[in-house]
Structure 1
Amino acid sequence: MTPSADAVEVAVVTGASTGIGREFARRLAKRCGKVILIARDAARLEETRQEVVALGAAAEIVVCNLSERSEVERLAQQLSEIPNIEYLVNNAGFGTMGDFVDVDRQQHADMINVHVVATVLLTHAVVPGMKARGRGYIINVASMSSFMIGPGQVTYAATKASLTSFSESLQVELERTGVQVQALCPGFTRTDFHNRPQFEGFDRDTISANLWLTPEQVVDFSLRKLPSKRVVCVPGLKNQFFARLMTFRFVRIIAGKSVRKK
């Protein structure tokens, strides 16, 4: 990975091989001259790369395991040397099912590394360049779970809540710098997220069809709301209603238990 010599605007997307990340890559290919695509799956990243190139932008693949601190440190150093990053989308993530003590502790550690540590380090790498240019966008993909008390998804809910809090606090620090931070909090989205082995017992049909959004709907809402400068971004009218209700603790508990039953 090398700095862009011709100063084209660059977008960086983690978890770009599928779902919301892949859709961000496609959409940002229309806004930036180059998109840096980051994930573990080289074959699927190549599919995304081809789509980005077809949309008229240059694309670079970076195969990186964000649960490994050394790989994240190396990636952060590379990003810090690119002065023209316009967008950073911290989208990579995964979930688990089961009581806290029944989930392997390495999975808890990996989740903290992917959701929190990688987001913090990559954001730290790009903010100086954005401040120097007087503009830039950082989108941290959190979740509706960040508002819940989540038995059965303890570390997931905690790390997503951390992303939301991190985004809100960072935005206050970056006020009047031209850098905008967003915590994107989607609910149920039709991606491969629930197709992984951890969700073998998950039945999509138990979720009301009108609660599901597509990656296109989520990304469209995120990008449309960026100019509003509101940090917490919740796609979907029903999700927005539920998010307001979850200012009450008992609603947060009920919502968390409801998700667990799914």
Structure 2
Amino acid sequence: MSVACVTGASSGIGKAFARQLFSEGWSLVLVARSEKKLEALAEELTGGVSAAADGATAPTADVFPCDLSREDECLRLCKQLETIPDLRLLINNAGIGAVGRFDELDTDRQLQMIRLNVEAVEILCREIIPHMEKEGGGQVLNVASSAGLLKGGPYMATYYATKAYVVSLTSSIFTELKERRSTVAISALCPGPVDTNFNESAGVRSSLPGISPEYCARFALRKLNRKKLIIVPGPQRWGMPFYNILPRRLQLRITGAGQKSKMR
């Protein structure tokens, strides 16, 4: 049975991915810091299920609590995933954000954001893609943001920079995998506002209507099956090409005004 690993699975988009994948028959490795939340999700998914209708083995949901902002914890997760020959999908979803003036935000929080949003994605891609190739193939979905497609984000400077890194990294790996005809494919998910607890944890008040995490996950998985590189769910996919035509300074002023309006 195919196995998918979802990081940041305890809430928001990660939880929606877990629910959707499990309903499609995937076994799961659920990753987040909170063991309690992961256990509750695993119970929700598997409660009362002992066998598939046709007598086949039912999908499972295993929990793996860890803090991916720590390098040693990332490597511990990789070591565990490398024991799974049927790992066919890795969703790098864990991430955090913060809003505020660059010089006023807490340095430790910003560095934690870089470690989680950037370094964890780097480590997991670097370690797990070779494992998938060795075992016959698979897919990686790096959850970035529409922020990563823009020229910058005043008042969320570090967050925008981390997501631009994820988009750039994914795009480059995509090309390398294609050129060597790898059995592994990689994509970047770049949603705009999503109705999750992300805004609350980031300390922002969203000024734009968001899509549901369930819609985001379903849309992403459909496009992932087509091996699309950049996946943009919601209305942003129509407006983004036109917005990016704007001169850099004008785009930065507009984006910065939007982010500044979120500050509490």
Return the TM-score normalized by structure 2.
0.87
Task: Give yes or no for the alignment of 1:258 onto 2:258.
Answer: yes
Task: Give yes or no for the alignment of 1:181 onto 2:186.
Answer: yes
Report the alpha carbon displacement of residue 32 of structure 1 after superposing the two structures with TM: 4.7
Q: One-letter code of the match for 2:9?
A: A
Task: Give yes or no for the alignment of 1:126 onto 2:123.
Answer: no
Q: Pick from 154, 157, 162: which aligns with 2:160?
A: 157
- Which moved further from structure 2: 252-261 or 65-74? 252-261
Question: Quick one: distance in 1 between partners of 2:71 and 2:2?
Answer: 27
Residues 25 and 59, structure 2, Cα contact 8 Å, conserved in 1: yes
Report the alpha carbon displacement of residue 91 of structure 1 after superposing the two structures with TM: 0.3
Question: Quick one: distance in 2 between partners of 1:181 and 1:250?
Answer: 32
Residues 149 and 167, structure 2, Cα contact 8 Å, conserved in 1: no
Match of 1:136 in 2: 138
Report how many residues are paired: 247
Task: Give yes or no for the alignment of 1:171 onto 2:192.
Answer: no
Question: Quick one: distance in 2 between partners of 1:157 and 1:80?
Answer: 31
Return the TM-score normalized by structure 1.
0.88
| Cα 1:169/1:50, change in 2 over 3 Å | same
Q: One-letter code of the match for 1:243?
A: M
| Cα 1:256/1:183, change in 2 over 3 Å | farther
Residues 99 and 259, structure 2, Cα contact 8 Å, conserved in 1: no
1:64-100 per-residue CA deviation (whole Å, 9 max, x = no partner) reads: 1111122112212222232221110000011111111
Give the match's secondary structure for 2:4. strand
Residues 147 and 252, structure 1, Cα contact 8 Å, conserved in 2: no
1:79-136 per-residue CA deviation (whole Å, 9 max, x = no partner) reads: 2232221110000011111111111111111111111111111122221222134431
Residues 10 and 37, structure 2, Cα contact 8 Å, conserved in 1: yes
Q: One-letter code of the match for 1:117?
A: E
Question: Quick one: distance in 2 between partners of 1:80 and 1:100?
Answer: 38
Give the match's secondary structure for 2:140. strand
CA RMSD of aligned residues (A): 1.7
Question: Quick one: distance in 2 between partners of 1:226 and 1:251?
Answer: 33
Question: Quick one: distance in 2 between partners of 1:163 and 1:118?
Answer: 10
Match of 2:108 in 1: 106
Q: Pick from 99, 103, 117: which aligns with 2:119?
A: 117
Where do 1:1-262 residues align within 5 Å?
8-54=1-47, 56-148=58-150, 149-175=152-178, 176-196=181-201, 198-199=202-203, 202-204=204-206, 206-207=207-208, 211-236=209-234, 238-248=235-245, 249-250=248-249, 252-253=251-252, 254-262=254-262
> Among the aligned pairs, what percent are the same residue?
36
